[in-house]
Amino acid sequence: MSIAVELHDVTKTYPAPNAVTALERATLALRTGETVAITGPSGSGKSTMLNLLGTLERPTSGEVRLAGVRASSLSDGELSGLRAWHIGFVFQQFFLLDHLSVLDNVAHGLLYRGLGARDRRSAAAAALTRVGLAQRLTHRPQELSGGERQRVAIARALVGHPTLLLADEPTGNLDSTTGADIVALLAGLGDDRTTIVVITHDAGVAAAMDRHIHLRDGRIVGDDLKAA
């Protein structure tokens, strides 16, 4: 199985006046198609790891590789292009555009791919069908439940078949039943093209994934793979 993204001896230190090492000497390789939970208490380095995996920040030292590409060798513009082609993001807040239909919200995720409007909408419809929203294509976000809006956000992240989907506390704004549905959906989305990584503080979310990485004080202190 190929490697989707890896960290090699990565440290991230934020400068003074509040100097802190948020992640220290992290080495990690995530395989294509894995579903992975990254957990830990507040301040453990989860958000920093997400930003580094997503190439939103550069490490202080060490190396990040995404789809075999050394991120440190790229300019900021080249990194933006790498993200556009290889990474999808899902957050607690849905960040949907209220004036657009569900279909066009998802199609919007392909604007930087150079595809025509018809092809973007066709891909968006397929992604929405994959997350169970085939009957909601013409609805506006405000007409949907919270769980449905999060499904739209997941479809938007998946529509370009990214190498890596990063979900940051994706159930944080949902009730427990709806959150469990979203977790089950994410757990079933790993395939031969996309690795799913969920950043969470919830052990129940971690239990639904193939692999559980635990952080404490900026260090990886556990890396457990679920038995097949």
pLDDT above 90 for 165: yes
Q: For residue 165, what are its two tokens?
A: 């989907």
Nearest-angstrom CA–CA distance, 109 and 87: 11
Say how far apart CA 63 and CA 27 lie, in whole Å. Answer: 9
Residue 3: strand pairing partners: 31
**DSSP assignment letter at 93:** S
Residue 5 domain-assigned? Answer: no
Name the pLDDT band for 100 (thresholds 50, 70, 90): very high
DSSP conformation letters of 7-56: EEEEEEEEPTTS-EEEEEEEEEEEETT-EEEEE-STTSSHHHHHHHHTTS
- Is pLDDT at 170 greater than 80 in this prediction? yes
Strand-strand pairing, 35-39 and 195-199:
parallel
> Do 92 and 172 meet the contact criterion of CB atoms below 8 Å apart?
yes
Which CATH number belongs to the domain containing residue 89 in this structure? 3.40.50.300
3-state secondary structure of 179: helix
> Average pLDDT over the chain, rounded to whole?
92
Residue 18's CB is within 10 A of a number of other CB atoms, namely 6
Establish if 15 belongs to a structural domain: no
CA nearest neighbour of 47 among 140, 147, 168: 168
* Structural domain contains residue 170: yes
115 has a pLDDT exceeding 80: yes
Residue 122 lies in a domain: yes
Q: What's the pLDDT band for 16 if we cut at 50, 70, 90? A: confident
The gap between the terminal CA atoms of the chain, to the nearest Å, is 15
Split at pLDDT 50, 70, 90, the class of 66 is very high
Q: Is position 105 within any domain? A: yes
Tokens 């513009």 belong to residue: 77
CA distance linking residue 161 with residue 201, whole number of Å: 27
Residue 114 has pLDDT above 90, yes or no: no
SS3 147: helix
Range of the domain at 203: 32-58+75-225
Query: Which pLDDT does position 216 carry in this prediction?
Result: 96
Tell me the pLDDT band of 113, cut-offs 50, 70 and 90: confident
Tally of domains in the chain = 1
pLDDT confidence band for 226 (50 / 70 / 90)? confident
Residue 17 lies in a domain: no
Dist CA 116 CA 66 (whole Å):
27
- Mean pLDDT, residues 200-218: 91
Q: Are 133 and 104 in contact (CB under 8 A)?
A: no
Q: Are residues 10 and 52 in contact, defined by beta-carbon separation less than 8 angstroms?
A: yes
pLDDT at 191: 81
Q: What is the pTM of this model?
A: 0.92
Q: What is the pLDDT of residue 228?
A: 61
Q: pLDDT over 90 for what percent of the chain?
A: 75
Is the pLDDT confidence value at 227 over 80?
no
pLDDT single digits (tens) 176-191: 899 999 999 998 888 8
168 — pLDDT class (breaks 50, 70, 90)? very high
Instruction: Output the pLDDT for position 60.
Output: 95
Helix axes 117-130, 146-158, angle to 10 degrees: 130
Domain membership of residue 139 (yes or no) is yes
Q: What is the mean pLDDT of residues 130-153?
A: 95
pLDDT, mean of residues 126-139: 95
Q: What pLDDT, on the 0 to 100 scale, is given for residue 164?
A: 95
CB 146 within 8 A of CB 96: no
Residue with tokens 């990474």: 87
- Distance separating alpha carbons of residues 137 and 119, to the nearest angstrom: 15
Whether 45 is covered by a domain: the verdict is yes
